[in-house]
Each structure stands twice: as structure tokens, then as C-alpha cells.
Chains A and B, each alone.
Chain A
Amino acid sequence: QITLKESGPTLVKPTQTLTLTCTFSGFSLSTTGVGVGWIRQPPGKALEWLAVIYWNDDTRYSPSLQSRLTLTKDTSKNQVVLTVTNVDPVDTATYYCARRTTPNYYFDFWGQGALVTVSS
């Protein structure tokens, strides 16, 4: 059974750094072709793709947010960590992690999401 779960702070102050962890089970990020991505959704708004990291450490970021995002993985813990620097209230959103496996071009399993509010 494949599961993913996001965890992290629910409230972050503007200009701070947000760190979110995706803990997954049922697959391994050391398996060729596997990737874990992050997608966020501001309250009442659309989904926005943020980034993805692959088994071989290849990492891709949304061009509009690239300078503020960092993805790392800990294969032994089955975790992926997303860091967002210099947060602003517009970063308030539910953050989802999801799995992608090459050569597929979709995200097949998603976490339940973690709501993060940026406010002073």
C-alpha cells in the first residue's frame, strides 16, 4: 500500500523559512524512475506545481519559485524535505506531496496535504 503524508508547521511568520517533510511508504526513492513532487493550493484557489526530486537526485523547480525552493531526500527514512525561504502571506496554502514514476507523466499517489499559514 502506497501512502504519503506531509508534516510541518501550521503557522510561519513572514520572511521566515518554511520546512515541510513528506514521509512515504510502499515505495522507495532509491528505485530507478521514482520521484516525489510537491504541489500547493492556496485556500479556494488552484493547484500549483512546485518541484520534484528523483531517485538519482535530479531536481526540478517551478521557474517562478526556483530561487526560494530547495528539495532534499533521505532515502533511508523514506522522506523528502521541501524548504521555502523568505515566505510571504501569498505562500499560505495546503502543500501536497505526490509520487511520480518515470516514464509516466502524472502524479499517481498524493498525500492528504498540510495547511500552512503565513502570518505575523
Chain B
Amino acid sequence: QSALTQPRSVSGSPGQSVTISCTGTSSDVGGYNYVSWYQQHPGKAPKLMIYDVNKWPSGVPDRFSGSKSGNTASLTISGLQAGDEADYYCCSYAGTYLWVFGGGTKLTVL
């Protein structure tokens, strides 16, 4: 059960879109439509942003969207805002009530 692979960092200017990838295996990302994404600001707890690949919890703007193809899931943030600057983590169900997180991606809003 290895950590999912995410780019260490991505960046974009306000108003632009960025995409963060999350690559796993057929035992986790590719095997289930249960990928979730969490936003974490410095010193804060993670916050659920996307679940079940592409669903929004209440209160999360639809500027955040998720998708999946094969063993890779993606989080796209459109209309970047300064407040989106944070670390983002993907998480996938890996069967038998086990979970695995990604290595995290630092988003910088230029």
C-alpha cells in the first residue's frame, strides 16, 4: 500500500485554472470510484473538497472539480483565487476498509 503520486507543486495566476494529478494503481484509484480531495491551509486540519471522484460536499464552490481516468485522478481548480493557495491531498479507498493518501501538492497562486 504505497502513497499515491502527486506533483510536489503547481502554480497559477488568479483567474486561471490548474490541475493536480493523483496516480495510483488498479488496487486503489483505478479500482474504485472513491477518490476524495482535501485542502489544507498551513497549521489547519484538512478540509474535504471533493468526494467520490467528482462530487462536492455542501459549501464547496463548483470551481473545484474532480475526474478520473484509469489509475489517475485529477483535481481542477478554475478561477484561481488567493485563498486557494494551500496544500492538496488526494485519498483513495484501497479495499477492505483501507485508505491511502497522496504525497500532497502545494498550490501557489502567483
Return B59 CB to nearest CB of chain A, in Å: 11
List which A37-69 residues lie within 8 A (CB) of chain B.
37, 39, 45-49, 52, 58, 60, 62-64
Complex Cα–Cα for A13 and B48 (A) = 33
Q: Are A60 and B97 in contact (CB under 8 A)?
A: yes
Is residue B1 contacting chain A, with contact meaning CB distance below 8 A? yes
**A105 in contact with B36 given A47-B46, A62-B1, A112-B45 (CB within 8 Å):** yes
CA distance A111 to B66 in the complex (A): 25
Main secondary structure of the interface of A (DSSP, over half): loop
A58 touches B98 (CB 8 A): no
Q: A residues within 8 A CB of B96?
A: 60
- In the complex, chain B residues whose CB is within 8 Å of the CB of A58: 97
List 25 A-B pairs, Cβ < 8 Å: A39-B46, A39-B101, A45-B104, A46-B101, A46-B102, A47-B38, A47-B89, A47-B101, A48-B3, A49-B99, A49-B100, A58-B97, A60-B96, A63-B1, A96-B45, A104-B51, A105-B32, A105-B34, A105-B51, A105-B52, A106-B34, A106-B48, A108-B48, A108-B57, A111-B45
Q: A106-B36, A106-B51, A107-B36 known; 5 other A-B pairs, CB under 8 Å?
A: A45-B104, A47-B40, A49-B91, A64-B1, A108-B48
Q: Which 8 A-B pairs have the closest CB atoms?
A: A105-B34, A106-B36, A60-B97, A106-B51, A49-B99, A110-B45, A47-B101, A46-B104
- Residues of B with Cβ closer than 8 Å to A? 1, 3, 32, 34, 36, 38, 40, 45-48, 51-52, 57, 89, 91, 93, 96-104
Residues of A within 8 A of B (CB): 37, 39, 45-49, 52, 58, 60, 62-64, 96, 104-108, 110-113
